[in-house]
């Protein structure tokens, strides 16, 4: 923030891998609302078990296959992971809990596109457009205008 001369709150989006969070769980794919002195975890992706444990880190297909087993069959190709059909959820008992983003529809879309031999460039574009949409919708839900 100092480097870019930003003041006030900024929503930081971190998709740089996994690590232990402040609550001693594995974090990965975080939306952190920050100011000059602190941060708050306002959103994250839904957690799921990694098939094969740490092997899934080096073999990403395990992650997709593991998630495929628990997908909702009503997911539609190209549907955003945070749409009005499956909105992010916050824990009503704990207003401090982060918004949970379900990425199952996105993974389902990728697998379905692969099955129907959609060109890889189209699959990639849809995936990256979905990530952009997730960032924008999460920023709106966090009531923030600036995302870095």
What is the pTM for the complete model shown?
Answer: 0.69
Q: Is residue 148 part of a domain?
A: no
* Phi, psi of 19, deg, nearest 5: -175, 170
Length of the chain: 148
Question: Tell me: the pLDDT tens digits for 16-44?
Answer: 777 788 888 878 889 998 888 888 999 99
For 82-115, the DSSP string reads: S-SSS--B--TT-TTSPEEE--HHHHHHHHHHHH
Residue 88 within any structural domain of the chain = yes
- Residue 26: inside a domain: yes
Distances (CA, A) of 53 to 29, 66, 130, 138: 18, 11, 27, 29
107 falls within a domain: yes
| Domain contains 111 | yes
Tally of domains in the chain: 1
Identify the weakest region by mean pLDDT among 93-102, 111-120, 131-140. 93-102
Lowest mean pLDDT of 2-16, 70-84, 94-108, 112-126, name the range.
70-84
Is residue 57 a part of any domain in this protein? yes
Residues 6+ apart with CB under 8 A from 55: 62
Q: Encode 35-57 in three state secondary structure.
A: CCCCEEEEEEECCCCCCCCCHHH
CB 100 within 8 A of CB 90: yes
User: Is residue 4 domain-resident?
Assistant: no
Question: In which domain, by residue range, is 117 found?
Answer: 10-141
In a domain, 47, yes or no: yes
């Amino acid at each position: 923030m100092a480097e870019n001369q930003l003041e006030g709150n900024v929503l930081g989006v971190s998709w740089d891998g996994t690590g232990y969070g402040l609550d001693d769980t594995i974090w990965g794919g975080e939306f952190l609302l920050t100011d000059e002195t602190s941060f708050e975890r306002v959103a994250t992706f839904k957690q799921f078990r990694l098939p094969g444990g740490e092997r899934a880190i080096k073999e990403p297909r395990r992650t997709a296959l593991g998630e495929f087993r628990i997908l909702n069959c009503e997911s539609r190709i190209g549907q955003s992971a945070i749409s009005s059909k499956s909105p992010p959820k916050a824990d009503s008992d704990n207003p401090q809990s982060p918004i949970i983003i379900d990425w199952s529809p996105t993974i389902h879309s990728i697998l379905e596109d692969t099955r129907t031999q959609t060109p890889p460039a189209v699959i990639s574009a849809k995936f990256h457009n979905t990530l952009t949409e997730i960032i924008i919708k999460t920023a709106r839900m966090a009531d923030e205008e600036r995302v870095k």
